[in-house]
Structure 1
Amino acid sequence: MIGSIDCMHWQWKNCPTAWQGDYGNRKGQKSIILEAVAGFDTWVWHAFFGVAGSQNDLNVLGQSPVFNDVLRGQGPNVTYQVNNTVYQTGYYLADGIYPRWTTFVKSIPNSRSQKQKLFATYQDGYRKDVERCFGILQARWLIIRVMGFELALSLI
């Protein structure tokens, strides 16, 4: 597993007037989106920051460079075995909105057997790694919440 992938919408309090139409979300607030892939230790393996606020996770994925290395043949070498089948490509844990691609592993929505329920429990727990990462970013980078997005960009 490469990590858990998800998007977070950050409210942009000091959005320039000229950009307010592009960065307005469904609630009328101005926001900017962070797509991230985080590991179990909340290490950020991929970050794509700055997408306009009215977008959803799928639209962000369409603009994201997350698969650029793989397309160039430079992706991480990941080898693992499941049910006696060896796989050579990494995968991301994702929630239900992401497409049914082999690179995304999602939870089993209506788990019936004990094995499926156990898988869903573990998968949902590990998928929350990216959510924990977002929480840590907000807690440690108070400036993002208080001052707005411009100062956060100047620090990166």
Structure 2
Amino acid sequence: MLAYGVAADFMDKYVRIGESTAIESLKYFVKAVVDIFSNEHFRSPNSNDIAKLLVVGESCGFPGMMGSIDCMHWKWKNCPTTLKERSFAFTELAKGRAPAVNYTINGNEYTMGYYLVDGIYPQWSTFVKTIHSPQGNKKKLFAAA
């Protein structure tokens, strides 16, 4: 169901289990994933995480970048809207809080990290979106990167 985005009633033909069994099994699977991985992966980044993220961003030519978020491949149409932004990172960003990061670009000093995102994200100061119709080599290079 997760891998192919199919409904629970599809499972009765595919693996020969009923819809209610498929749903119950999926709930157990999701609970297990949360129990196993939540302490390490479903949390706000700590100082070690931030340092690693900044090194990666810097190596890509984006000082101060905490990561790149692209959800174009996710199909949210059937997902309850309350689950779309359940990440602790998003919760903090929505409150205007982001990890303190010091870096300089073109002589300007900044104190907050940022994320590269696509057009579906809100207009937050910590989200940097691409340029849709870049004009000129500099803007084209930024959009491509």
- Normalized per residue, the structure richer in helix is 2
How high is the TM-score relative to the length of structure 2?
Answer: 0.43
Task: Specify the structure having the higher radius of gyration (Cα).
Answer: 2
Greater relative contact order (CA < 8 Å, ≥ 6 in sequence):
1
Name whichever structure is richer in strand by fraction. 1
